Amino acid sequence: MNQTGKYEIPTEMRDFAERSVEQARKAIGGFVQAAQRTVETFEGSTSSMQASASDMTRKTLTFAEQNLMAAFDHAQKIVRAKDMQEAMQIQSEFARNQFAAMQSQMKELGDTAQSAARTATSHATSAARSATEHAASAMNQATANVNRATNE
């Protein structure tokens, strides 16, 4: 206490408190930076997933167009058939061709979906690993700063 009856906080205590606040500010700043990097990583993953979805949509529309054109070509051949035997042969050939085409299309769509899933999983794993590393780094830095401030 000083002569006026007021209690003064010792300079060392004020300095310690000031250092502690500054260290806390730095620690929180590290956590915020880690969170921002994680968000950026997830945004990259989202862009990749959107590209995969667009690719699937384009392929699906292409396959639908191919199947419709094949159906119209088939209808035209059936109309031109000279007898029932030729019409049945045209129908049988169309069924075989469409079955093979649809198998190929489904395989291609399946391969594209698997690739998209692998990419999304890879991005998610990378983002989680990155977030963990950044958080651990921020925590280590905060701990070191607190220990340094305590020892000063």
Q: Where is average pLDDT lowest: 24-38, 57-71, 90-104?
A: 24-38
Q: What is the 3-state secondary structure (H, E, C) of 3-23?
A: CCCCCCCCHHHHHHHHHHHHH
Full-model pTM: 0.58
Q: Which residue has the tokens 């408190």?
A: 17
Is the confidence at residue 76, as pLDDT, over 90?
A: yes
The structural domains of the chain, with segments of one domain joined by +, span 11-151
Tell me the per-residue pLDDT of 81-138, one tens digit each, with 9 for 90 and over. Answer: 999 999 999 999 999 999 999 999 999 999 988 888 888 788 778 777 877 777 777 7
Q: 116: exposed, middle or buried (C-beta count within 10 Å: 0-12, 13-18, 19+)?
A: middle
- Give the CA-trace dihedral at 46, 40, 146, 25, to 10 degrees: -120
Helix (DSSP H) and strand (DSSP E) numbers for the chain:
2, 0
